Amino acid sequence: MGLAGLVLIVISWLALGRAEDVANWHQGRRLGKETVSHLHFYFHEISNGNNPTVVKVGGPQKIDPSTLFGTVWMEDSPLREGPKNTSALVGRAQGLTGADDQAKFGLIMALVFGFTQGKYNGSSLSIFGRKGQSDPVQEVPVVGGTGLFRMARGFAMARTFLLSPDTGLAIIEYNVTVVHYESN
């Protein structure tokens, strides 16, 4: 290698060094291992009584009883491993739901499923989408997550297990499938 070559190497090394100095506010990193997780649990909601897990926060003056269109609720309901109210708590569903359909009862859901058990304790999934109540099994997108569920995307399949207008009890079975990246 001639002197010119050596000079070129030194110059490019200097230039690279400079480039690194100015560019170190961003960095590329490899993702962890792509993982598909499947979760199965039951959402337990109580709308009546002294300790409701869902409360109405607003709605129109004149309400259509068949659609409840315009009604908004705040939710903080337990997620349990099974359909019994004594079944192990695995997390909570917290957030907003609202009746958004003028033709029939349908819900827009903006909920965070925060898990409190086992491996996923402290991790959460963000659910955002519509739940058309007329289908026997309803699909809602999973749009993100935190903790072990960072960058999660997927879908939740929901089916009503029990609906009791007298007691205000609603138990919904959920199967959630998410793709996420577990860091090493």
For ligand NAG, the closer of residues 76 and 173 by Cβ is 173
For ligand NAG, the closer of residues 49 and 58 by Cβ is 49
For ligand NAG, the closer of residues 33 and 40 by Cβ is 40
Distance separating alpha carbons of residues 49 and 94, to the nearest angstrom: 19
Binding site for ligand NAG (CB under 6 A): 40, 85, 116-117, 121-122, 137, 157-159, 173, 175
- In the chain, the DSSP E strands lie at 33-46, 54-58, 72-80, 89-99, 106-115, 124-132, 138-146, 153-164, 169-182
CB of residue 53 vs ligand NAG: minimum separation in angstroms? 10
- Residue 163 C-beta-side C-alpha neighbours within 13 Å: 5
CB of residue 107 vs ligand NAG: minimum separation in angstroms? 16
CB count in 10 Å sphere of residue 34: 10
CB of residue 46 vs ligand NAG: minimum separation in angstroms? 7
Sequential DSSP letters for 115-143: E-SGGGTT-EEEEEEEEETTSSSEEEEEE
For ligand NAG, the closer of residues 33 and 84 by Cβ is 84
CB of residue 178 vs ligand NAG: minimum separation in angstroms? 14
For ligand NAG, the closer of residues 64 and 76 by Cβ is 76
CB of residue 114 vs ligand NAG: minimum separation in angstroms? 11
Pairing of strands 124-132, 138-146: antiparallel
**Which has the closest alpha carbon to 144: 123, 129, 127, 119?**
127
Report which residue type is found at 11.
Answer: I
